[in-house]
Structure 1
Amino acid sequence: MYRETGLAGTSPASQQDDVILLAQVQRGDEQAMATLYDRYAKLVYSVALRVLRDPASAEDILQDVFMQIWRNPATFTATRGSLGGWLVVVSRNRSIDALRRKRPAESVDEVALAGPYDLANEAERNTLMEKARGVIYRLPVDQRKTLEMAFFDGLTHSEIAEMTGDPLGTVKTRIRSALTTLRRAFLA
């Protein structure tokens, strides 16, 4: 797991140096804390930012993690791994916890949702579409197929005539008759 973060090659000398710095932090050495911060702040912040996708929240996690080290440096156990690896895990876990704690700012009951369309108009449109489908379904087969080719397939009258082998005038008459039937159905 630490290999992905670039921590697999942490040298034993730097691990030993981290243990010494933590011991100094435990005695209240601010310079040792500053050294640890300079060494690992980018790592902690980048993990938090990757999880949270929010720079301000990632900065909060960064501060929390280093405050934990300052208040209680003994929470890290050197025999269990490197300090960098431990900080990655702590940062990740804190970030996930922060995501889980986030709640909507307002109650769902108080939020007015704007819809992209008017439901009344949508219902009327659906009713008209059903009526049109019914009228088209009842058209003679030749008229229905010609109308579908013109309006749903986007073919020109000439292209329909070529495809069906019907004369151009017949194609135009079928489309005109189908449209007249539809118009009468909607005016009734």
Structure 2
Amino acid sequence: MLPVKHIEKAAPLSDEQLLAQYQSGGDQQVLATLYLRYTDLVYGTAMKYLKEQELAKDAVMNIYQELVRKLQQQQVTTFRSWLYVVTKNHCLMFIRKQKNSVVVEFQPDLMQSEDFSHLDEALEKEKELQKLESCIENLAAEQQQAIRLFYLEGKCYNEIVTATGQEWNKIRSLVQNGRRNLKNCMEK
């Protein structure tokens, strides 16, 4: 078998081919070749959530280490979409850990506070999410499916076309009209 760099020069392998090759042999050079194609996606997603360059760079490295382990245990059909979800989840877990590890100096006079504004904000966000879910459920079935695939699962139009069998322009129309209908519903 030729080394990966020679194979890449001869004829670039698809994501699926590289993934299958890594999962069957465990060659990290193959995984690195595949991962390098999407480091900009990973870094951009990490910047979106973490808002700091150094944290995003660390996330890029940490996610690679996660892939080494996860790809040996999981079946992945569309690497790019799967990697986006892994990246997003990694960032959200990092943020959650940071929030949970905040050290606050104990101040006895603040133990019984009458300020419950943080509860009001949380309730307001929960109401907004419930309203959004209700609005999504009120969409036509095709719009609902397109909105869920596009926004909640992070799929692109082409992936939705493949999943649903609809035409590309139909998917685009469903997403745009669904977004407009959601906006109108949320503003009511």
Mark yes or no: TM-score above 0.5: no
TM-score, normalised with respect to structure 2? 0.43
